[in-house]
């Protein structure tokens, strides 16, 4: 019997095969016109992204991390500001406030949907107020693994304490809350086009989405060294954080397929749910929350997780742990938190989570193979 094809965790090659003509021709067009920096594809993509998610402005930039940077620089985040971030997230969420001299306040997450826990968030905002040393400035909500956070509740808290609400949607672009798409759920939303994200380019890239005209203008200026009306008229301190024309061209070729890719990701998640229900703890669903399914992440008993991961890999099923350590325990950040035991859910999750292959080119036989491998890995001792 022939060996089945290896299963990909994220299959960028299959995606390229599917859209090869559009992608090749988009790249060739840029090579012909030669406008590699801020070429016409960048503005076209920005218009298409804005209309895709129902935001007034999209500002393309060099990565998801720089998208967060643009937001916080434009909002004037700096020394003395407390920025509330989940501890169970990717590094960039905590890194950006620190780069600006602000203080990240790590918040615990919900054990079922992995997004910021509202009760803990409010407790920590109150603690900062009582402490009297820092100014509560903003909440950076992260839509972990693609599932939008509860923005209505977050917005109410932000209003109650007069802080800004921003969204780190690096994993959730393409998701929605009811009929409101990710990108229109917060004052400003950062997303990433890192190749393995739901909408990925062929290098680094990102975007900010906002409805605020003034914020959009300031972010456009910061992305290009703080320029004013003229290129050599510098009105603020900025960055070199532009999106490459080539990456914009690749994204424009992929964007028309993106909505149907999200539908397929949802079908893959439904199929996993059906096969793994009762075997492992499958990802939480929230009514009205449509995930972009950046990851399909199961929960396992902490004393079994690494053995299950090893068994899956031995069986030819790639899997990954996002994230093996919460931010408040990282050596670079731990002096901002209260150490071990202070955020128990984030600490427990880092020992329990395991993400399975997730991409829109998974076939039914592959999903069966993965589910069978999970069943036997969980069953074996
Ligand atoms: C990927 C990611 C980022 C950073 O995006 P880059 O494009 O890699 O800079 C930020 N936040 C979260 C939650 C992410 O998953």
Q: Please tell me the distance between residue 90's alpha carbon and the centre of ligand 1 in angstroms.
A: 6
Cα 277 from Cα 292, distance rounded (Å)? 20
> In the prediction, which pLDDT does 254 show?
98
- The atom of ligand 1 lying closest to the CA of 194 is 7
Q: Please tell me the distance between residue 376's alpha carbon and the centre of ligand 1 in angstroms.
A: 33
> In the prediction, which pLDDT does 4 show?
65
Q: Please tell me the distance between residue 190's alpha carbon and the centre of ligand 1 in angstroms.
A: 9
162 C-beta neighbours (distance < 10 Å), count: 8
Q: Which residues line ligand 1 (CB under 6 A)?
A: 63-65, 89-90, 92-93, 142, 168, 170-171, 192, 194, 204, 206
Cα 48 from Cα 247, distance rounded (Å)? 14
Q: For tokens 């107020």, name the residue.
A: 129
Q: Which of 92, 97, 147 for mutating ligand 1's site (highest number of atoms within 8 Å of CB)? A: 92
- The atom of ligand 1 lying closest to the CA of 206 is 7
Q: Which of 65, 142, 320 for mutating ligand 1's site (highest number of atoms within 8 Å of CB)? A: 65
Q: Please tell me the distance between residue 48's alpha carbon and the centre of ligand 1 in angstroms.
A: 21
- Please say whether the beta carbons of 139 and 75 come within 8 A: no
Residue closest to 107 by CA, chosen among 335, 343, 284, 276: 343
Handedness of CA 292, 296, 298, 304 (dihedral sign): negative
> In the prediction, which pLDDT does 230 show?
83
Q: Please tell me the distance between residue 168's alpha carbon and the centre of ligand 1 in angstroms.
A: 8
Q: DSSP for 89-128, please give it.
A: S-THHHHHHHHTT-EEEEE-B-TTT-SBPHHHHHHHHHHH
What pTM does this model have? Answer: 0.97
Q: Which of 167, 168, 358 for mutating ligand 1's site (highest number of atoms within 8 Å of CB)? A: 168
The tokens of 154 are what?
Answer: 């977050």
**Residues in a beta bridge with 180:** 177
Cα 115 from Cα 109, distance rounded (Å)? 5
Tell me which residue has its CA closest to atom 14 in ligand 1. Answer: 170
pLDDT digits (tens, 9 = 90+) for 259-307: 999 999 999 999 999 999 999 999 999 999 999 999 999 999 999 999 9
Q: Please tell me the distance between residue 224's alpha carbon and the centre of ligand 1 in angstroms.
A: 21
Cα 320 from Cα 235, distance rounded (Å)? 45
Question: Which stretches of the chain are DSSP H helices?
Answer: 12-33, 40-53, 64-74, 92-99, 118-131, 151-160, 213-223, 245-276, 305-314, 344-352, 364-379
Residue 39: strand, helix, or coil: coil
- The atom of ligand 1 lying closest to the CA of 68 is 10
- The atom of ligand 1 lying closest to the CA of 294 is 15
> What DSSP character marks residue 329?
G
The tokens of 120 are what?
Answer: 């803990």
Q: Which of 67, 194, 326 for mutating ligand 1's site (highest number of atoms within 8 Å of CB)? A: 194
Distances (CA, A) of 129 to 57, 82, 140: 33, 10, 18
- The atom of ligand 1 lying closest to the CA of 197 is 1
- Please say whether the beta carbons of 295 and 60 come within 8 A: no
Which residues, given as ranges, of the chain have pLDDT below 70? Answer: 1-4, 380-381
Element (H, E) at 208: strand 206-210
Distances (CA, A) of 175 to 34, 239, 262: 34, 29, 8
Residue closest to 274 by CA, chosen among 368, 176, 369: 368
Cβ-based neighbours of 12, under 8 Å, separated by 6 or more: 195, 196, 200
Helix 364-379 vs helix 305-314: angle between axes, to the nearest 10 degrees?
A: 130
12 C-beta neighbours (distance < 10 Å), count: 14
> In the prediction, which pLDDT does 92 show?
92
Q: Is 251 left (phi over 0), alpha (psi -120 to 50) or beta?
A: alpha
> In the prediction, which pLDDT does 5 show?
75
Q: Which of 171, 207, 291 for mutating ligand 1's site (highest number of atoms within 8 Å of CB)? A: 171
323 prior amide bond cis, ω within 30: yes
């Amino acid at each position: 019997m022939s060996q089945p094809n290896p299963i990909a965790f994220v299959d960028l090659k299959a995606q390229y095969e599917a859209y090869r003509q559009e992608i090749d021709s988009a790249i060739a067009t840029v090579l012909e016109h030669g406008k590699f920096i801020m070429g016409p594809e960048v503005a076209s993509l920005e218009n298409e992204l804005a209309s895709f998610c129902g935001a007034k402005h999209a500002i393309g930039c060099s990565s998801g991390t720089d998208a967060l940077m643009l937001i916080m620089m434009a909002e004037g985040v700096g020394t003395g500001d407390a920025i509330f971030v989940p501890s169970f997230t990717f590094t960039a969420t905590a890194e950006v406030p620190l780069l600006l001299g602000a203080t990240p306040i790590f918040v615990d997450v919900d054990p079922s949907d992995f997004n910021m826990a509202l009760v803990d968030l409010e407790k920590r905002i109150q603690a900062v107020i009582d402490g009297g040393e820092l100014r509560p400035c903003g909440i950076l909500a992260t839509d972990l693994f693609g599932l939008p956070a509860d923005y209505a509740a977050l917005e109410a808290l932000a209003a109650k304490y007069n802080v800004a609400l921003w969204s780190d949607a690096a994993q959730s672009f393409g998701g929605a809350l009811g009929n409101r798409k990710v990108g229109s759920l917060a004052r400003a939303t950062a997303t990433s086009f890192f190749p393995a994200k739901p909408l990925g380019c062929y290098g680094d890239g990102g975007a900010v989405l906002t409805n605020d005209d003034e914020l959009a203008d300031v972010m456009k200026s910061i992305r290009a060294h703080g320029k004013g009306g003229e290129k050599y008229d510098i009105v603020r301190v900025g960055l070199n954080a532009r999106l490459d024309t080539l990456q914009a061209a690749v994204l424009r070729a992929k964007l028309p397929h993106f909505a149907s890719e999200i539908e397929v990701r949802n079908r893959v998640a439904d199929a996993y749910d059906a096969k793994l229900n009762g075997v492992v703890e499958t990802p939480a669903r929230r009514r009205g929350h449509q995930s972009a399914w950046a990851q399909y992440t199961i929960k396992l008993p902490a004393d079994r997780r690494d053995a299950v991961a090893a068994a899956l890999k031995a069986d030819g099923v790639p899997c990954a742990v996002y994230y093996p350590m919460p931010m408040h325990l990282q050596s670079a950040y731990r002096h901002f938190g209260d150490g071990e035991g202070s955020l128990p859910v984030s600490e427990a999750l880092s020992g329990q989570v395991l993400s399975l292959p997730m991409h829109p080119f998974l076939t039914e036989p592959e999903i069966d193979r993965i589910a069978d491998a999970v069943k036997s890995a969980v069953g074996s001792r």
